[in-house]
A and B are shown apart, each in its own frame.
Chain A
Amino acid sequence: MTWVNAVVHGILLGGYYALLATGLSLMFGVMRIINLAHGSLALVGAYMTFLVAEHADVSTYVALVPVLAGALLIGYALQRTMLERSLRSGELVPLLATFGLLIVIANVLQRAFSPDVRSLSAGSIGTASWRLTSSLTISWFDVLVLGIAIVVLVGLQLLLVHTQAGRELRATAADPDTAELLGVNSRAVYARAAAIAVATAALAGVFYAMRSNFDPSAGPTQLIYAFEAVIIGGIGSLWGTLVGGIVLGVAQTVGAQIDVQYFALAGHLVFLAVLTFRAIAQAGAFRSFGKVVA
């Protein structure tokens, strides 16, 4: 039963990873940028919520509202200032610039909030759980996060398919130049995508901070998990991201069931196994392609 418990928790944890990975996947899909500061921006969301909740003396859920609005603005401004410029200078510059941002954010947070470990209160839902059997309990909070991840994914899907903004987004992702010719302002589309991406990152960051302790150096780890979810699920598919998140979550919780220290390692190894498998498949495809040509 402990194994069933581990798998169930892994699936629920996958909801969090899907939420965290959504923005990363969206920005890559639309702008072809892998935002290396994604995990750090999630952490900024957590710290902003901490500040609002502390100073306005409200619950974490209430504090989320102004923080999400702020995150939309941050994403918009980030695209308009830094990323837009970096996109013009080739493939490497966005990577280098967002990596610089990751280093800056981690150290500014450390300066502003000290390296101390903190946590956000999840309220009464944080401790409530269903006890199904003696060894299988499901926490309400985990179910809430998975539910919100699915709501965000469905919402994005509806936005992309059924709204004018969504159509513009897909058109720009497919071919920015042609979209421009048809009257789409690709700069505005990019800024909107970045705003949504940073807001979902901040939302995920707040859930992360409610789930476990956090400190200013946590950003890179969250970026890596988000990226692993995207790659395992297949780049460019929102629902693939959910599948990838769940596979990563299950790998981690099952690894932790073997030994607590294997939590992150098991996820990394599954990610590497998927990569290796793809590499072999790709090499095989190249070889058979060579035969066809010859």
Chain B
Amino acid sequence: MTALAPRPTSAPVRVERWTPLSGVFTAALVVLVVVLAFAPRLFGQGTLDNLVELYFLVILAIMWNALAGYGGLVSIGQQAFIGIGAYAVVFLSVQHSLNPYLAMLLATLIGAGISIPIAGVVLWLRGGAFAIGTWVVAEIFAILVSLDASLGGGTGTSAVLAFNLRYTPEQRLRNTYWFALAAAAASLVILFLLLRSRLGAALQAIRDDEEAAASVGVRVLFGKGVLFVLAGAGCTAAGAIILAWQLSILPLGPDSVFGVNWTAKMIFMVLVGGLGTFEGPIVGAIVLYLLETYTATPLGVWYLVMLGSIAIGVALFAPKGIWGTVQERFGIQLLPVGYRLRRRA
């Protein structure tokens, strides 16, 4: 009998996580982040300003992908956290004279804290109901902020004074740059470790089939809750960076910090890059950044029409996005969060 039943170790497949390529790439990425940390010595102000934008787009993209790509949660309300981040910094640094960068750090924690009770209400909803439920939450925060005269009311507010009191414009840009780089790198590392952990395997099971995952003992609601709080904190950090980047903010309207256009951009980045892949949203963020830099001004209103149309087209005809297609065709994974079975040679 023992001759017939092969021992597990002699199975013709092995489980693979790291490949030489992904090891090299991950190491290269770490080197890249270190090099980018010296960018304020190398590049001019315009480039730094652009890179800050790229960094917060990366944060927004990977956080939205964490929700939709791993939790199956299509949120149209992540702008709630962008707005909370921006206004929390105004509240702490302008009204309570805190150092603005300390305020940005604290704002991220506040965002994480606020996301917990929100999760308790909206995570019971599924599909489209969750989408609009989160949107209503964002609207509520936007209205509450616009009703608060001390935060500038409906006409918005500015944090110029809080920054100028302590820093020259050059110092502000440099510090904002470092904060944004650190936040983007930290977001990537936390999400990478989370997805490689035991909980990460559970999350990817939820993504693939929620009922099946629940039936084998995955705590679906807990997993989604972790993602929601992480995404809440990440988008709040992005909101804080957006405040430091544009200095003046508005609470109402599609272009404001609480505006739904942020969600349009997040969906665009994630869909184009590759929903549910780890690397895809980074690719998507770079694509959006290039489009925003080179086509937003000449296209005007058509710019958002273009983003919406591309998103529809990708959703219908190429749902794997750029990175998903690359992964499928070449079988490569640069930042491995999954497990793969390889036939032994």
B131 within 8 A of A: yes
Q: A107-B305, A217-B253 are in contact. Are A97 and B312 (CB under 8 A)?
A: yes
Docked-complex contact B302 and A265, CB < 8 angstroms: no
Bound complex: CA of A224 vs CA of B134, how far in Å? 11
A34 within 8 A of B: yes
Contacts of B131 in A (CB 8 A): 34, 36, 95, 99
Contacts of B68 in A (CB 8 A): 92
Q: A103-B307, A104-B308 are in contact. Are A272 and B316 (CB under 8 A)?
A: no
B120 within 8 A of A: yes
Q: A92-B68, A93-B316 are in contact. Are A104 and B305 (CB under 8 A)?
A: yes
Docked-complex contact B308 and A268, CB < 8 angstroms: no
Docked-complex contact A224 and B301, CB < 8 angstroms: no
When each residue 135-173 of chain B gets 1 if its CB lies under 8 Å from chain A and 0 otherwise, what string results?
A: 111011001100100000000000000000000000000
**B254 and chain A: residue at smallest CB distance:** A217
Docked-complex contact A85 and B129, CB < 8 angstroms: no
Docked-complex contact B264 and A264, CB < 8 angstroms: no
Docked-complex contact A101 and B308, CB < 8 angstroms: yes
B45 within 8 A of A: no
Bound complex: CA of A191 vs CA of B135, how far in Å? 28
B235 within 8 A of A: no
Contacts of A228 in B (CB 8 A): 136
Q: A265-B143, A272-B140 are in contact. Are A34 and B132 (CB under 8 A)?
A: yes
Bound complex: CA of A223 vs CA of B133, how far in Å? 12
Contacts of A36 in B (CB 8 A): 76, 128, 131-132
Docked-complex contact A100 and B128, CB < 8 angstroms: no
Docked-complex contact B315 and A100, CB < 8 angstroms: yes
> Which listed residue, B136, B264, B301, B305, touches A271 by the CB 8 Å rule?
B136
Docked-complex contact B143 and A103, CB < 8 angstroms: no
Contacts of B271 in A (CB 8 A): 96
Q: A107-B305, A272-B121, A279-B120 are in contact. Are A82 and B72 (CB under 8 A)?
A: no
Docked-complex contact B316 and A86, CB < 8 angstroms: yes
Max chain B C-beta neighbours (<10 A), residue from A32, A89, A275: A275
Docked-complex contact A95 and B127, CB < 8 angstroms: yes
B181 within 8 A of A: no
Docked-complex contact A96 and B253, CB < 8 angstroms: no
Interface size class of B (residues with CB under 8 A): 35 or more
Docked-complex contact A223 and B309, CB < 8 angstroms: no
Interface residues of A in 28-55 (CB under 8 A from B): 28, 32-34, 36
**A271 and chain B: residue at smallest CB distance:** B136
Contacts of A227 in B (CB 8 A): 129, 132, 136
Bound complex: CA of A85 vs CA of B72, how far in Å? 19
Interface residues of A in 73-116 (CB under 8 A from B): 82, 85-86, 89, 91-97, 99-104, 106-108, 110-111
CB distance from A271 to the nearest CB of B (A): 6
**B146 and chain A: residue at smallest CB distance:** A261
Docked-complex contact A111 and B305, CB < 8 angstroms: yes
When each residue 288-306 of chain B gets 1 if its CB lies under 8 Å from chain A and 0 otherwise, what string results?
A: 0000000000000110110
> Which listed residue, B143, B260, B315, touches A97 by the CB 8 Å rule?
B315
Docked-complex contact A282 and B72, CB < 8 angstroms: no
Q: A269-B140, A279-B124 are in contact. Are A111 and B135 (CB under 8 A)?
A: no
Docked-complex contact A95 and B309, CB < 8 angstroms: no
Docked-complex contact B311 and A100, CB < 8 angstroms: yes
Docked-complex contact A95 and B120, CB < 8 angstroms: no
**A88 and chain B: residue at smallest CB distance:** B316
When each residue 92-130 of chain B gets 1 if its CB lies under 8 Å from chain A and 0 otherwise, what string results?
A: 000000000000000000000000000011101101110
Contacts of A279 in B (CB 8 A): 120-121, 124
B74 within 8 A of A: yes
CB distance from B269 to the nearest CB of A (A): 12
CB distance from A247 to the nearest CB of B (A): 15
Bound complex: CA of A179 vs CA of B260, how far in Å? 39
Bound complex: CA of A1 vs CA of B264, how far in Å? 45
B275 within 8 A of A: yes
Q: A33-B128, A34-B128 are in contact. Are A99 and B121 (CB under 8 A)?
A: no
> Considering the complex of A and B, which 5 residue pairs feature the smallest CB-CB distances, nearest first?
A34-B128, A103-B308, A100-B312, A104-B308, A100-B311
19 interchain pairs (CB within 8 A)?
A34-B131, A34-B132, A94-B128, A96-B311, A99-B267, A99-B311, A100-B267, A103-B261, A106-B254, A111-B305, A220-B254, A224-B135, A224-B136, A224-B139, A264-B139, A265-B143, A268-B139, A268-B143, A276-B121
Other A-B pairs, 15, CB within 8 Å; known A107-B302, A217-B254, A275-B124: A32-B127, A34-B129, A36-B76, A82-B312, A86-B316, A92-B74, A95-B128, A99-B76, A103-B261, A103-B264, A104-B309, A107-B308, A227-B136, A264-B139, A268-B143
